Structure 1
Amino acid sequence: MTATAAASDTRSAIATARSIVVKIGSSALTSLEEGLDHAALDTLADAIEARMRAGSDVVVVSSGAVGAGIAPLGLSKRPRDLATKQAAASVGQLALAHAWGTSFGRYGRTVGQVLLTADDLARRTQHRNAQRTLDRLRVLHAVAIVNENDTVATTELRFGDNDRLAAMVAHLVQADALVLLSDVDGLYDGDPRRGGATLIPEVTSPEDLDGVVAGSGGALGTGGMASKLSAARLAADSGVPVLLAAATDAAAALTTAGVGTAFAARPNRMSARKFWVRHAADTQGALELDAGAVRAVVDRRRSLLPAGITGVVGRFHGGDVVSLVGPDAVPVARGVVAYDFDELGEMLGRSTLELPSELQRPVVHADDLVPL
């Protein structure tokens, strides 16, 4: 790595962040033969404790529940069917939480387990409840250990992987930085296991990713470089700088941030509400827009008025998140709709001045609208 990369503004921001989310991959904590690697977990806890003693608040997003349950259940590989995955998670989650509690207990730290599903962050009320729980654990000086609730999550309710969960949590707790730790030491322009690949020390714009080939996860995890890259871009786009590094380099990653690949954050942090609309909330329907309305909401960031709506898809209610699609049926934005689907029927294509006073609000206000 060059000296310039090691001393970049992004790395300095990560090294000095007062609030940080640390995500740890399954491969760093478990093995198929032995289950949980307690020595590796202790080393990671040591690095996290040092960061907390230096003055930072740390939330841990820990993978490994399914991996930790494989060996105790006598399985020879990661299960593929949902029921066995959930059984392994139910066994492994207990062992994982206990192991973190024992490890941080060496420092007199208390840990709190927070299990989330995608539905918890998709629903605004549950989203706020999760936020309050994590904040209260911080105030009480406990270490939050966050994981996806694999025992109940189905395909439809999953984050997809804990890399994405970590990016969501980083924004949820308004973290100043996100550190992704796994079995890879950074982002390469190809598969480093095949030789000839070059480490990319810093990502400052999408152009830095031209030609990058990212692969899927390994035997114990569901992520892989593709999910890490997606999560890093998600967090950076929302205003959180990201460091992708090897778990074996945790001490350096959590002090100087002079290892791995750093992802620069966008200059202006996205508001919590807009982040929820864009990345967390499920859409309940769609509004079809004409070309003029697309230009208004995407280019000029204006509120959506009924005159520009040509069609309504789905059954939704005021306060739901809907997708806004252009004449070519391609989604161009998401937003919180102000009216029920049946109310909009009599409003389509009409000027606001033609409508009764109670229907003169924007269909989607600019403050509740996020272009894609």
Structure 2
Amino acid sequence: MTSDARQFVATARSIVVKIGSSAVTDMASGIDYAALDALVDALEARMRAGSDVIVVSSGAVGAGIAPLGLKKRPRDLATKQAAASVGQLRLAHAWGTSFARYQRVVGQVLLTADDVSNRSHHANAQRTLDRLRSLHAVAVVNENDTVATNEIRFGDNDRLAALVAHLVHADALVLLSDVDGLYNGDPRKPGPDGEPARLIEQVDGPEDLDGVIAGSGGALGTGGMASKLAAARLAADSGVPVLLAAASQAGAALADASVGTVFKARPTRMSARRFWVRHAAEASGTLTLDDGAVAAVVERRRSLLPAGVTASTGDFSDGDVVELVDAAGVVRAHGVTSYDADDVAKMIGRSTADLPSELRRPIIHADDLVPG
């Protein structure tokens, strides 16, 4: 199962490794210390082989369920945050204790979506992670579940891991959970033709995902194959190769990437600004474009002019990121607007020549537009 993509993952000098909730917690006792120690053994082996490793660890809520006497993963936000406040402390201590067997120091980094979507916070998070690496500490990252609301969540730690991988300019991303790769169907059930589902060993592009159905998360986590697939595509699209494998196969996954499914990265790395515009920043509004403007922006990479805009929604300001959608409401691009919402409302559908001089710049310059 050797390929260039697997070789990139196997030899990457810096990697982000995401650990799923089910890999380190269980409903009965909270943290599965034996499983966590086995993962740390594999991570330590990779670090001794010369790689910088950042860990993105799920499991805070799962680790707090048993100590609080809860019978299942809570659904309401307040109880989730309470469980996370108990579990986060226990989980951080468990990571620290396990890595201490190798005389490694662990630093906990808790992030919310705002820490990545806000440009200044984004830079602060990057500096913290880079400094921990330079001090030879192991950064263990998690979403700050104790304060994150539904409106400011990443959604799951798979997406967080993909964002962190780009944030720290990692060479590869490894997603470890309770699944051993991407299948073309449910591996627990026979397909319509009676044949078992087939492991997809490598994904080179969207065409390799035709017919793939991804499910949601399990009892302890919020992810599932759908979130892993979305995160893998996000990272690969930004230039970071991804390996999706089972946590029980961590040794092989981190040694030679010989297991699971590998996602080939785009040939060129997306710039930090373009990545932020497309994937990290929260859109503050929406501009609807006519067919001509869609073709100009998406296909010819031209600046967005007022004449091609048919509608504007949202309360955005100069410098905010907005979504650009076609007449059917499909998102076709993201961009940084040069005007606030009130000014754009005055410009919709008008020729540049008919506007006052202060409104004659493009609504979004081509350099600030990212298709997709």
AA of the residue aligned to 1:212: V
Task: Give the match for residue 207 of structure 1.
Answer: 207
The DSSP-based 3-state class of the residue aligned with 2:284 is strand
1:362 aligns to 2:362 (yes or no): yes
The DSSP-based 3-state class of the residue aligned with 1:194 is coil
Distance 1:288 1:197, change over 3 A: closer
AA of the residue aligned to 2:294: V
Task: Give the match for residue 187 of structure 1.
Answer: 182
Aligned mates of 1:272, 1:349 — CA distance in 2: 32
Aligned mates of 1:351, 1:100 — CA distance in 2: 60
Q: Structure 1 stretches of 5 or more lacking a match?
A: 1-5
Aligned mates of 2:75, 2:96 — CA distance in 1: 29
Task: Give the match for residue 31 of structure 1.
Answer: 26
Aligned mates of 2:218, 2:262 — CA distance in 1: 23
1:296-338 per-position Cα deviation (integer Å, ceiling 9, x unaligned): 1011011112232233222211001111122334332110001
How many residues align? The count is 367
AA of the residue aligned to 1:197: A
Pick one of 58, 62, 70 that aligns with 2:57: 62
Aligned mates of 2:344, 2:156 — CA distance in 1: 37
Task: Give the match for residue 216 of structure 2.
Answer: 216
Deviation at 1:358, TM superposition (A): 3.8
190-199 or 272-281: bigger deviation = 190-199
Q: Within 5 A, what are the aligned runs for 1:27-106?
A: 27-106=22-101
Aligned mates of 2:246, 2:63 — CA distance in 1: 20
Distance 1:364 1:79, change over 3 A: same
What is the TM-score with the length of structure 2 in the denominator?
A: 0.95
Aligned mates of 2:346, 2:19 — CA distance in 1: 52
Task: Give the match for residue 275 of structure 1.
Answer: 275
Deviation at 1:359, TM superposition (A): 3.2
1:126 aligns to 2:100 (yes or no): no
Aligned mates of 1:347, 1:78 — CA distance in 2: 50
Aligned mates of 1:60, 1:199 — CA distance in 2: 26
Aligned mates of 1:214, 1:354 — CA distance in 2: 50
1:161-192 per-position Cα deviation (integer Å, ceiling 9, x unaligned): 11111111111111110000011111111222
Distance 1:225 1:325, change over 3 A: closer
**Percent same amino acid among aligned pairs?**
75
AA of the residue aligned to 1:150: D
Aligned mates of 1:137, 1:184 — CA distance in 2: 30
Task: Give the match for residue 146 of structure 1.
Answer: 141
Aligned mates of 1:226, 1:345 — CA distance in 2: 37
The DSSP-based 3-state class of the residue aligned with 2:47 is helix
The DSSP-based 3-state class of the residue aligned with 1:114 is strand
The DSSP-based 3-state class of the residue aligned with 1:75 is coil
1:137 aligns to 2:132 (yes or no): yes
1:348 aligns to 2:343 (yes or no): no
350-359 or 290-299: bigger deviation = 350-359
Deviation at 1:347, TM superposition (A): 3.1
Aligned mates of 2:233, 2:287 — CA distance in 1: 27
285-294 or 227-236: bigger deviation = 285-294
24-33 or 336-345: bigger deviation = 336-345
Task: Give the match for residue 114 of structure 1.
Answer: 109
Deviation at 1:352, TM superposition (A): 3.6
Q: Structure 2 stretches of 5 or more lacking a match?
A: 191-195
40-49 or 16-25: bigger deviation = 40-49
Task: Give the match for residue 326 of structure 2.
Answer: 326
What is the TM-score with the length of structure 1 in the denominator?
A: 0.95
The DSSP-based 3-state class of the residue aligned with 1:284 is coil
Aligned mates of 1:53, 1:361 — CA distance in 2: 54
AA of the residue aligned to 1:49: E
106-115 or 359-368: bigger deviation = 359-368
1:11 aligns to 2:10 (yes or no): no
344-353 or 321-330: bigger deviation = 344-353
Q: Within 5 A, what are the aligned runs for 1:246-261?
A: 246-261=246-261
Q: Within 5 A, what are the aligned runs for 1:216-235?
A: 216-235=216-235
Task: Give the match for residue 237 of structure 2.
Answer: 237
Deviation at 1:354, TM superposition (A): 4.6
Task: Give the match for residue 335 of structure 2.
Answer: 335
Aligned mates of 2:344, 2:182 — CA distance in 1: 47
Distance 1:225 1:288, change over 3 A: closer
Distance 1:160 1:304, change over 3 A: same
Distance 1:283 1:71, change over 3 A: same
AA of the residue aligned to 1:194: K
Aligned mates of 1:16, 1:119 — CA distance in 2: 32
Task: Give the match for residue 163 of structure 1.
Answer: 158
AA of the residue aligned to 1:254: L
Deviation at 1:355, TM superposition (A): 4.2
Deviation at 1:23, TM superposition (A): 0.3
AA of the residue aligned to 1:294: V
Task: Give the match for residue 298 of structure 2.
Answer: 298
283-292 or 91-100: bigger deviation = 283-292
Deviation at 1:357, TM superposition (A): 4.4
Distance 1:50 1:316, change over 3 A: same
